[in-house]
Structure 1
Amino acid sequence: MNLFAQEKGLALTGLFGFLLAGICAVWVVLYGGEVAPRGNVANAFSFDAALGVFLLSTAAIAPFSAMSAKGRVFFRWSYIILALYCYFAENVQNFRGVNPRFVKGAAPFDVTVGSIFTFVALLLVLCYLFLAVHYFRSKAYTAHPVLVTGIRYAMIAVLISFAAGIWISFNGGRTVGLHGNLIWLHGLGFHAIQAMPAVAWLVSRKTPSAQTRGNLVHIAGTTYILGLVSIGWQTYLGGSVQEWSLFPVIACCCFAVSLAAGAYAFFDKIRDSKGVRREWFG
């Protein structure tokens, strides 16, 4: 738990999401996902798990923001409170048979919960933007140059995901045109918060020059962002990301390069570790 020692509150809130996801999973297995008239416990399951992973990932990287103590407290408790409301709205409403995001013909209570949910989602974006800005300041970069470089790319990707979430809200759903689906852009962007810091952490532990290590992080980060942009444009055109057309192919190639950079860093780390052990034991 040393990884989360400085952000135990955020980490525990993330673990709470896994607990809720487990409860929802059991319900879906026993009774199915859909709850009349418009609820779906399977949606609550995926939301709880995704938010849990996101909070745990944020808790792991937050200490590297070089944010002031007061700033950390503000961000921490703002996000915990907002996340708890999201858990409440997503789970209670779906179990009651209400879609918490798009409330139609519902009781005043349901309309109120949905309206607050929309406002809370906007606050989540603004608070995360407050965190993201700190990684682009020299203080954070000077302390951990390689790791913060990776986190910077992750922040850009997360903000793209938030933009996709706002797009979903204004669009009235995830579908765009005939085959476009915003959930791909929304979901893949958030996974950068695990992928990019992991690549940066792997190469920051190596002995080569800082420039060489930084180049690998830039390759992984740049191609990941370009992959997201390609998916976003394909979705804007109303096309499926699973069809073999120009932008899905570009996205596939970009993600492949980003994955290859991460794999190279991982296996190079393993080779280095074996070399150190051989040297240690003679």
Structure 2
Amino acid sequence: MEGCSELRNQAIGGTKPEVKFFEGEKWLVITGLLGFLLAGICAVWVMLNGAEVSPNGDVSKAISFNAALGIFILSTAAISPLSGLGMKSRAIFRWSYIVLALYSYFAETVQNLRGVNPRFVKDGTAFDEGVGFIFAFVALLLVLFYLFLAVQYFRKKAYRLRPGLVLGIRYAMIAVMFSFAAGIWISVNQGRIVGLHGNIIWLHGLGFHALQALPFVAWLTERSSLTTSVRSRWIHITGCAYLLGLAAIGWQTILGNSIMEWSVLPLLAICSFLISIAPVVLLLRQTAAINKSYRA
């Protein structure tokens, strides 16, 4: 009778099945895993032949790029079901991103193996210039399509699916926009170095890692014994601290200074990221204590 009641409630909209990570995103997952495969192949190349390929190629950059894009695609595949998008809209985003990612893998890997910097082509052939031009256009499309996805998490439709988790994803999406802005900055700057010691790549990379860190905290709060208001408070603290850390790193970079020096902004960034990690430690300890009590 209880099972029949549950089915009846679902039929009339009383309850809905929980939306799960990666649900319906097999091909995005495969595309993300392809990045790790290509990174591994490039790593073998570097061990056998060295990283530099004359005149301007650097296969070690292909390793980091392919792995980073793979992580990004996998993280996106995990949270995509929580966007609230309909099947057709998700399919459009999915296949557009797959095509763009495949081209990015191709440009970064093949061109570096050919001795060409795919982003900043110097004395290249018409083919190299064409690949570089399309690569820049693809990078812009990656930003625009992701902006479309990001907006969905700020709608009520997405929030109703899993409120705490979507709240964490909202903060992650803001952080990702910092990363995209940093990527555009690198392109306009014609490189990652600013001033004497500033390096844009730190802001670019740490912003994307919010896709793993912030939803993970929100996921842990779902499995805690905390009240709804306390869960939301933890997610807000984590998200705000992470964004503050990114802002400090960004400002330090704008000043042309290294984030490794002992000054106010790097220390502020360190403290902010430590605060964003604190809920993870506390929630994991609580989960371990609950599991231990169950076993007892």
TM-score, L = length of structure 2: 0.92
Q: Secondary structure at the residue paired with 2:260?
A: coil
Counterpart amino acid of residue 120 in structure 2: F
Corresponding residue number in structure 2 for 1:19: 37
Matches within 5 A, 1:157-196: 157-196=175-214
* Structure (1/2) with the larger helix percentage: 1
Corresponding residue number in structure 2 for 1:44: 62
Please report how far the alpha carbon of residue 3 of structure 1 lies from its aligned counterpart in structure 2 after TM superposition: 4.1
Please report how far the alpha carbon of residue 185 of structure 1 lies from its aligned counterpart in structure 2 after TM superposition: 0.2
Matches within 5 A, 1:46-85: 46-85=64-103
2:223 corresponds to which of 185, 196, 205: 205
* CA distance, structure 1, for counterparts of residue 99 and residue 250 of structure 2: 30
* CA distance, structure 2, for counterparts of residue 211 and residue 269 of structure 1: 18
TM-score, L = length of structure 1: 0.96
**More displaced stretch, 2-11 vs 168-177:** 2-11
Q: How many residues align?
A: 277
* CA distance, structure 1, for counterparts of residue 208 and residue 99 of structure 2: 20
Q: Deviations over 1:60-103 (max 9, x none)?
A: 11001111111101110010000000000000000000000001
Q: Is the 8 A contact 1:168 1:182 kept in 2?
A: yes
**Root mean square deviation, CA, Å:** 1.0
Q: Secondary structure at the residue paired with 1:100?
A: coil
Matches within 5 A, 1:175-254: 175-254=193-272
Counterpart amino acid of residue 108 in structure 2: E
Work out the percentage of aligned pairs sharing the same amino acid. Answer: 62
Corresponding residue number in structure 2 for 1:10: 28
Moved over 3 A (4+): none
Give the unaligned 5+ runs of structure 2: 1-19
Corresponding residue number in structure 2 for 1:272: 290
Q: Deviations over 1:210-238 (max 9, x none)?
A: 10011111111110000000000000000
Corresponding residue number in structure 2 for 1:149: 167
* CA distance, structure 1, for counterparts of residue 240 and residue 246 of structure 2: 10
Corresponding residue number in structure 2 for 1:122: 140
* CA distance, structure 1, for counterparts of residue 67 and residue 249 of structure 2: 23
* CA distance, structure 2, for counterparts of residue 18 and residue 82 of structure 1: 17
* CA distance, structure 1, for counterparts of residue 41 and residue 23 of structure 2: 27
Please report how far the alpha carbon of residue 139 of structure 1 lies from its aligned counterpart in structure 2 after TM superposition: 1.1
* CA distance, structure 2, for counterparts of residue 232 and residue 196 of structure 1: 19
* CA distance, structure 1, for counterparts of residue 236 and residue 283 of structure 2: 13
Q: Deviations over 1:117-138 (max 9, x none)?
A: 0000000000000100000001
